[in-house]
Amino acid sequence: MDLCRADKVLLAGGAALATSAALFGASTGGLGVPAAAFAAILADGIFRPSSSTFYPTLSRGPRARAQVALTFDDGPDAEVTPRVLDTLNEYGARATFFMIGRHLERAMSIGTRVVAEGHEIGNHSWAHSYLQNFYSVRSLLGDIERTESLIRTLTRSAAVPLYRAPVGLKSPRLARAAHARSLRIVAWSVHSRDTLDSNPKRVAERVLAKIRPGDIVLLHDGHQNAGAHRHSGADSLPLILQGLRAR
């Protein structure tokens, strides 16, 4: 049986709890402390975006190379994404756009431009539902494949697109679906907080204060809700690129 990492963690944790209870009884030391430790491991796997507890997750690149990766989530957005592309073109920079499938379906022309200008499109689920981790494995696979099909239409590539889970959350069910599809899951090491801060100067300063070689930077060119817009990432991008170029 081909078990994913999440299943191995769950089986190992369950076995450890059963062994501890058998040896020491259902006491605080025999069951309470091990159960609390196992719960902490599970929480890390679910809620820490860069955690590889349930599934191998890339959160940064090599520190030895003077390069960083810029990533944009939740697009494409007809108002914002073209501005991001214009700025990237001006500075000769490339980025990865983790797109929501239902947004991409309505803006395939922007997706075409993203690919034509040398950027990468990643899979950010079909609908960016906060309930996605409660989906069945079958539903998760359908969600992943639906967006992947659109991306492949644009890229004309057989390669499986990079995947970023909504909000970075990864449940055991998502891990099983990712394992079945051999996904490469990408998180981030620097969060711009551009979803909370509308001041582009502060957003840029936050990124530049934290950034180191190899970092993966999270910015946003879209919004999970149709019709809503986030401009902070696009507004801060020239300042971020100026700061990186100065280094």
What pTM does this model have?
Answer: 0.95
Give the whole-number percent of the chain exceeding pLDDT 70: 98
Look up 220 and say whether it is catalytic: yes
Written as six digits, the tokens of 112 are 């075409």
**Cβ atoms < 10 Å from Cβ of 157:** 11
Task: Specify the length of the chain in residues.
Answer: 247
E strands along 116-204, which residues? Answer: 120-123, 185-186, 190-191
Catalytic residue among 73, 74, 143, 235: 73
Residues 230 and 68: their CA atoms lie apart, in Å, by 23
Q: pLDDT tens digits for 82-129?
A: 999 999 999 999 999 999 999 999 999 999 999 999 999 999 999 999
Summarize the confidence of residues 170-192 as an average pLDDT. 97
Look up 221 and say whether it is catalytic: no
Q: pLDDT tens digits for 121-176?
A: 999 999 999 999 889 999 999 999 999 999 999 999 999 999 999 999 999 999 99
Catalytic residue among 220, 221, 223, 235: 220
Residues 78 and 89: their CA atoms lie apart, in Å, by 17
Residue pair 190/209 in contact (Cβ under 8 Å)? The answer is: no
